[in-house]
C-alpha cells in the first residue's frame, strides 16, 4: 500500500513538474534532468531503473516524525545501483545512473520571533499542532529535517530545490536545500587536501608496520645480551615482546590499586561518551537519531544514568591521578633540565597522537553510506589536517573544540601543560623544600578557583552545565565550555591536589588513626562517591520549570556554589581514598573493594587506557555515520551500540598501543639511556684525565 501511495504521489507530482519545471530550467543538464524525471514519473513500474528510483527515495513524512525522527535515509545501496537507458526527445540514448541526496528543511533564523508556525485556535483538538511546532523550533537549533531522495545523476541539487520552491510557494519562507549527493562513482569523494593527507597517513602506518616486522625479526633471531644499540632500538618495535608485556599481569607491588581505578575511570568515560554519541551531536549536520531528543531526556532521568551525566568528575579524577603519580614516583630521581622535562612529556604523547590522527583519516576515507558524504565527515577530520599544529603543540584546549582533532584531545593538551606547571614543585622536592612544595601546590589550587570566580563575578560568562545528554536540543555553550572546562586553569586544583597527596605518600606521613576508623572512612568514601552523582543536576526532579538558557549561561550563585562543591567533594573523597590505600594498605588488605581494585586482570586494560581514550571518539562517529537507519535511542539500542563501539575501541586501542605507544616509549627511553650513559662516560673520562694531569704536575 505504501508503495502504491508513492506511485500515486509521483503521478500527481508530474502535473506540478510540467507547470514549474520549464520555468526554472537554466542549463542543458537541467533540461536533461527534467526529461528523465518526466519519464520516471510517467513510467514508475514499467522499467527496472524507474522502479528503483521511486523505491529508493525516503518518505518525507517518515515514521516517527511527530516523536522526533526527523530523518529518512531511503535505500542508499539501491539508489546507487540504479542503472538504465533513457531515450530523449532527439531519440538519443542516454545512460541513467542513480544519485542519493538529502532534501534538508530548516526554519529561518529567529523563526520563533519572526514567523508564527503555531495554529491559533481555541479548539483543544488543534493544540497538538502547537506542541509539534514548538518541538520543531526547539529541534531546529541543532538539526534540519532531512529527507532522502533518489535522482538521476544528471540532476543538480539547485535545480531540484528551485522546482520544490516554485511548486510549493508556502515553503519559500523556509530554508530548503538539496545537498550531500552521492553517486556510485563519487561516494565519499574527498578533496585534494584530504586525499594527500590519506596518502601521508598510509605512509605513516606502513613505516610503523615495517618497523614492527623488522623489530620482531631482531627479537626472534638476535640474542638480547649481544645486541648493538641499533638492534636494541629496533627491537623496541617487536610485536612479540610488546604483546607479551601488554598481557603480562605481573606488576610492581607499589600502588597496584591504581590499575583498577584507572580502568574504571576509563570505562566510565568510554561508556558515557559512546552512549550519548558525543561529538556527533555537536558536529553532525544531519540528525542520525530516532525520537530525538525525547529518548535522551527520558534516559537521563534514571538513577543509573546520573553517573554518565556526571562523567566530568572522571576527567577531574584523571588529572588528580596524574599529579599523584608524578609526585609519588618522583622520589629520589634526578631532576633533569626543564627542556628535558618538556621533551620527555612531548615524546610520550606525540607518537600515539600521530597514530590516532592517521587512524582518524583512514576511517573517514574508507567509510561508506548515506551519511559518509565528505561535507558530513569534514567536521571530524578537517581539524586533524588544517590545525594539526595545534594538536602537536598541545594548545588546542585554548581554542573552540571545532579546531580540535577530536574533542577529547583537549585533555591531553591540558595534561601536558599541567605537567610543565609541575616542574617548580619537582624542583622543590628535589631540594627537599617540603614546605615550599606544599605552599606552591596550594597556591595553584587557590589560583584555579580565583580565575573561575573572576570570570563569573565580572560577568564575562555565567556557569554552564555540561549536560548536553540531558538537554541535547540546546545550543552548545562554546565559550563557557572553554572558559570553565578545557582551559588549563580549571584543572589546577585536581592536578596539584594529587601532587600534595603524592608528596605525603612518598614521605610516608601517617596520621594516628584507629583501624576501625580507617576501614569505616574507606568504605564511607566509596559509598559517598556512588551517591554524589545523584545530587547533581538537582533540577532534573524539580517541580518548577527550569529556564533552559540558564543551563548555558547561569548567573546564579547557587548554581556556581553547587557545581564547585560537587567537584571539590568528589576530589577530596578520591584524595582520601588514595591516601588510605597507599599508607594503610596493610590495614585494608582484607577489604574486598581494595582487593578487587588490585586484581591483576586490570593490568592490561590499564595499559590501554590512554589509547582507548583517544580512539573511542572517531569510532563513535564512524559507527553512527555508517548506519543505514536512524539510530534507536531506547535502552536496547543504546546498549547494543555502546557495547559494539566499546569492543571496537578496545581492539583499535590495542592496535595503537602495539604499533605506536609501547614501541616508541621504549625507543625514546633507550635513546635517553644511551645519551645519559654517553654523558656519564664522558664525565668519567674527563675526571680521569684531570686526575692524571694533577698527578703529572705533582711529579714534575
Selected residue with higher pLDDT from 690 and 313: 313
Cα angle value 241/245/250 (rounded, 5°)? 140
pLDDT at 542: 45
Q: Which own/partner pairs from 582-588 qualify as long-range (CB within 8 Å, at least 24 positions apart)?
A: 582/255, 582/328, 582/505, 583/505, 583/508, 583/509, 583/510, 584/510, 584/513, 584/518, 585/257, 587/515, 587/518, 587/519, 588/518, 588/519, 588/522
Backbone torsion region of residue 508, taken as left when φ is above 0, otherwise alpha when ψ lies between -120 and 50, otherwise beta: left
pLDDT at 188: 61
- The C-alpha atoms of residue 57 and residue 275 are separated, in whole angstroms, by 30
pLDDT band for position 13 (cuts 50, 70, 90): low
Nearest to 664 by CA among 201, 350, 220, 221: 350
How many Å separate Cα 250 from the centre of its chain? 32
Burial class (CB in 10 A: 0-12, 13-18, 19+), 144: buried
Whether residue 446 contacts residue 500, with contact meaning beta carbons closer than 8 Å, is answered with no
Tell me: the pLDDT tens digits for 124-150? 555 666 667 777 777 777 788 888 999
- The C-alpha atoms of residue 291 and residue 62 are separated, in whole angstroms, by 12
Selected residue with higher pLDDT from 632 and 571: 571
How many percent of the chain have pLDDT more than 90?
Answer: 36
Whether residue 334 contacts residue 298, with contact meaning beta carbons closer than 8 Å, is answered with no
pLDDT at 10: 53
pLDDT at 117: 45
DSSP single-letter state for residue 295 = H
Tell me: the pLDDT tens digits for 475-503? 666 777 888 888 999 999 999 999 999 99
Residue 200 CA neighbour count, 13 Å, CB half: 14
Tell me: the pLDDT tens digits for 336-391? 889 999 999 999 999 999 999 999 999 988 888 899 988 899 899 999 999 999 99
- The C-alpha atoms of residue 284 and residue 267 are separated, in whole angstroms, by 24
Instruction: Give the chain's end-to-end CA distance (angstroms, integer).
Output: 115
pLDDT band for position 216 (cuts 50, 70, 90): very high
pLDDT at 43: 80
pLDDT at 203: 93
pLDDT at 470: 53
DSSP single-letter state for residue 532 = G
pLDDT at 464 over 60: yes
Selected residue with higher pLDDT from 94 and 260: 260
pLDDT band for position 443 (cuts 50, 70, 90): very high
- The C-alpha atoms of residue 404 and residue 382 are separated, in whole angstroms, by 9
Nearest to 336 by CA among 71, 691, 679: 679
Q: Looking at the chain, how many residues does it have?
A: 700
Amino acid at each position: 500500500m505504501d508503495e502504491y501511495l508513492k506511485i500515486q504521489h509521483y503521478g500527481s507530482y508530474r502535473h506540478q513538474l510540467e507547470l514549474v519545471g520549464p520555468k526554472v530550467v537554466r542549463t542543458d543538464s537541467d533540461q536533461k534532468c527534467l526529461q528523465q524525471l518526466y519519464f520516471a514519473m510517467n513510467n514508475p513500474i514499467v522499467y527496472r531503473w524507474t522502479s528503483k528510483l521511486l523505491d529508493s527515495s525516503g518518505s518525507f513524512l517518515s515514521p516517527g516524525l511527530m516523536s522526533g525522527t526527523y530523518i529518512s535515509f531511503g535505500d542508499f545501496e539501491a539508489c546507487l545501483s540504479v542503472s538504465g537507458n533513457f531515450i530523449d526527445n532527439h531519440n538519443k540514448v542516454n545512460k541513467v545512473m542513480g544519485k542519493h541526496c538529502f532534501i534538508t528543511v530548516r526554519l529561518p533564523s529567529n523563526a520563533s520571533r519572526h514567523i508564527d508556525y503555531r495554529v491559533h485556535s481555541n479548539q483543544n483538538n488543534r493544540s497538538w499542532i502547537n506542541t509539534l511546532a514548538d518541538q520543531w523550533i526547539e529541534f531546529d537549533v541543532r538539526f534540519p529535517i532531512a529527507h532522502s531522495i533518489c535522482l538521476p545523476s544528471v540532476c543538480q541539487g539547485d535545480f531540484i530545490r528551485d522546482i520544490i520552491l516554485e511548486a510549493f510557494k508556502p515553503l519559500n519562507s523556509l530554508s530548503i536545500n538539496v545537498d550531500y549527493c552521492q553517486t556510485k562513482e563519487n561516494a565519499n569523494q574527498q578533496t585534494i587536501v584530504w586525499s594527500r593527507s590519506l596518502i601521508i597517513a598510509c605512509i605513516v602506518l606502513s613505516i610503523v608496520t615495517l618497523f614492527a616486522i623488522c623489530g620482531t625479526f631482531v627479537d626472534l633471531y638476535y640474542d638480547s645480551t649481544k645486541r648493538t644499540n641499533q638492534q636494541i632500538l629496533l627491537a623496541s618495535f617487536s610485536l612479540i615482546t610488546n604483546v607479551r608485556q601488554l598481557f603480562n599481569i605481573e606488576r610492581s607491588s607499589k600502588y597496584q590499586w591504581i590499575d583498577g581505578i584507572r580502568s574504571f575511570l576509563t570505562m566510565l568515560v568510554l561508556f558515557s561518551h559512546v552512549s550519548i554519541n558525543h561529538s556527533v551531536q555537536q558536529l553532525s549536520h544531519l540528525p542520525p537519531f530516532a525520537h530525538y531528543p525525547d529518548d535522551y531526556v527520558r534516559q537521563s532521568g534514571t538513577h543509573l544514568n546520573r553517573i554518565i551525566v556526571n562523567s566530568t568528575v572522571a576527567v577531574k579524577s584523571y588529572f588528580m591521578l596524574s599529579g599523584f603519580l608524578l609526585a609519588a614516583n618522583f622520589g629520589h630521581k634526578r631532576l633533569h633540565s626543564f627542556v628535558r622535562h618538556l621533551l620527555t612529556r612531548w615524546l610520550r604523547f606525540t607518537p600515539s597522537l600521530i597514530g590516532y590522527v592517521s587512524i582518524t583519516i583512514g576511517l573517514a576515507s574508507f567509510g561508506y553510506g548515506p551519511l559518509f558524504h565528505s561535507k558530513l565527515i569534514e567536521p571530524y577530520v578537517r581539524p586533524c589536517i588544517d590545525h594539526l599544529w595545534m594538536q602537536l603543540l598541545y594548545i588546542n584546549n585554548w581554542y573552540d573544540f571545532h579546531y580540535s582533532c577530536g574533542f577529547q584531545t583537549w585533555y591531553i593538551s591540558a595534561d601536558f601543560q599541567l605537567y610543565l606547571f609541575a616542574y617548580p614543585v619537582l624542583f622543590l622536592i628535589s631540594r627537599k623544600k617540603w614546605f615550599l612544595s606544599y605552599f606552591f601546590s596550594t597556591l595553584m589550587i587557590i589560583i584555579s578557583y580565583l580565575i573561575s570566580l573572576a570570570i563569573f563575578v565580572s560577568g564575562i560568562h555565567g556557569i554552564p552545565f555540561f549536560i548536553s545528554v540531558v538537554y541535547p536540543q540546546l545550543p552548545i555553550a562554546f565559550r563557557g565550555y572553554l572558559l570553565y572546562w578545557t582551559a588549563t586553569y580549571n584543572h589546577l586544583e585536581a592536578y596539584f591536589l594529587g601532587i600534595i597527596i603524592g608528596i605525603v605518600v612518598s614521605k610516608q606521613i601517617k596520621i594516628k588513626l584507629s583501624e576501625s576508623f580507617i576501614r569505616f572512612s574507606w568504605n564511607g568514601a566509596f559509598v559517598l562517591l556512588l551517591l554524589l552523582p545523584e545530587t547533581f543536576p538537582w533540577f532534573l526532579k524539580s517541580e518548577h520549570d527550569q529556564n533552559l538558557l540558564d543551563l548555558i549561561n547561569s548567573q546564579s550563585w547557587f548554581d556556581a556554589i553547587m557545581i564547585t562543591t560537587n567537584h571539590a567533594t568528589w576530589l577530596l573523597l578520591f584524595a582520601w581514598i588514595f591516601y588510605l590505600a597507599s599508607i594503610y594498605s596493610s590495614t585494608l588488605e582484607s577489604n574486598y573493594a581494595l582487593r578487587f581494585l588490585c586484581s591483576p586482570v586490570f593490568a592490561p586494560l590499564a595499559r590501554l587506557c590512554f589509547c582507548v581514550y583517544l580512539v573511542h571518539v572517531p569510532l563513535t562517529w564512524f559507527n553512527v555515520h555508517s548506519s543505514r537507519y536512524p539510530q534507536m535511542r531506547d535502552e536496547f539500542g543504546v546498549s547494543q551500540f555502546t557495547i559494539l563501539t566499546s569492543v571496537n575501541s578496545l581492539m583499535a586501542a590495542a592496535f595503537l598501543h602495539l604499533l605506536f605507544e609501547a614501541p616508541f616509549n621504549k625507543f625514546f627511553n633507550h635513546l635517553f639511556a644511551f645519551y645519559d650513559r654517553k654523558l656519564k662516560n664522558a664525565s668519567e673520562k674527563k675526571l680521569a684525565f684531570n686526575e692524571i694531569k694533577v698527578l703529572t704536575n705533582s711529579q714534575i
